[in-house]
């Protein structure tokens, strides 16, 4: 009687991945000869594999702040009331973590609070806790913004900011200009106010260590008459889409 032999299974059918599947697929690789054992391969279908370079690029999209640096413990606290002092801010923040120092930023010309501050916490954990607890809450009726500074201020290129500061011509005849659009530059401010008086100089105040506008600036004139004319003409006037506030500095 003739001996019947079983045919090997169709192993290739096991290797076909599902068209909608992106997960690793388990399939058998057929041996070249029936006498060899089957080998097992675990992998992802070629059509779903990402190039190594792409994966490496995605893994290194951004570099976080060095947790050992002061920047990782340093908080920016924005939109605080003008009346808040260093000690008051420190007491508020200390409810959520240990504070190393708190410093409200003041304008060196007007002496007024710039409505933001920097607070350095003693640990990264404390800094993260303060961001979680205080960001978006109210201090003195104002909703404050709290976040960890992105990088140490010393690493920011401030050469053009220093030049802008040194080029400003101070004068006892000066106005404070508030509620400036972020797009307004010092040159824009000078040109705008030159329509109603002899402008000596103008500058937009910047967030320390950055090129970001603080939302206000100063314009100096040659006389009190020019100051009065500027206030009368430009207070509540529109500059680049925002109504500005103008008063004596």
The whole-angstrom separation of Cα 117 and Cα 128 is 17
User: What's the pLDDT at 67?
Assistant: 52
Return the percentage of the chain with pLDDT > 70, whole number.
Answer: 65
Q: Who wins on pLDDT, 114 or 16?
A: 114
Does the pTM of the predicted model rise above 0.75?
no
Q: Is the dihedral of CA 184, 186, 188, 192 positive or negative?
A: positive
pLDDT in tens, 108-161: 777 889 899 999 999 989 999 999 899 989 999 888 999 887 544 444 445 555
Which has the minimum average pLDDT: 16-20, 52-56, 201-205, 218-222?
52-56
CB 178 within 8 A of CB 245: yes
CB 65 within 8 A of CB 151: yes
Domains of the chain, each with CATH number or no CATH: 70-148 (3.30.70.330), 166-248 (3.30.70.330)
Contacts from 62-69 at CB under 8 Å and sequence distance 24+? 65/148, 65/149, 65/150, 65/151, 67/124, 69/152
4 pLDDT above the threshold of 80: no
pLDDT in tens, 171-206: 899 999 999 988 898 999 999 999 888 899 999 988
Q: Is the dihedral of CA 160, 166, 169, 170 positive or negative?
A: positive
6 pLDDT above the threshold of 50: no
């Amino acid at each position: 009687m003739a001996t019947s032999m079983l045919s090997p299974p169709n192993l290739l059918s096991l290797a076909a991945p599902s068209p909608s599947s992106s997960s690793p697929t388990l399939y058998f690789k057929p041996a070249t000869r029936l006498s060899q054992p089957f080998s097992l391969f675990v992998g992802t279908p070629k059509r779903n594999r990402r190039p190594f370079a792409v994966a490496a690029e995605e893994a290194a999209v951004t570099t976080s702040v060095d947790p050992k640096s002061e920047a990782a413990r340093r908080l920016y606290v924005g939109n605080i009331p003008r009346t808040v002092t260093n000690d008051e801010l420190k007491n508020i923040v200390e409810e959520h973590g240990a504070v190393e120092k708190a410093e409200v930023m003041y304008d060196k010309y007007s002496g007024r609070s710039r409505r933001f501050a920097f607070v350095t916490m003693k640990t990264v954990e404390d800094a993260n806790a303060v961001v979680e607890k205080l960001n978006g809450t109210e201090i003195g009726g104002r909703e404050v913004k709290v976040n960890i500074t992105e990088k140490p201020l010393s690493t920011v290129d401030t050469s053009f900011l220093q030049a802008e500061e040194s080029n400003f011509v101070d004068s006892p005849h000066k106005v404070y200009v508030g509620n400036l659009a972020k797009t307004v530059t010092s040159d824009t401010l000078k040109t705008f106010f030159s329509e109603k008086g002899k402008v000596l100089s103008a500058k937009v105040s910047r967030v320390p260590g950055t090129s970001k506008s603080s939302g206000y600036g100063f314009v100096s004139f040659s006389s009190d008459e020019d100051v009065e004319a500027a206030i009368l003409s430009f207070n509540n006037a529109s500059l680049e889409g925002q109504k500005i506030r103008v008063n004596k500095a």
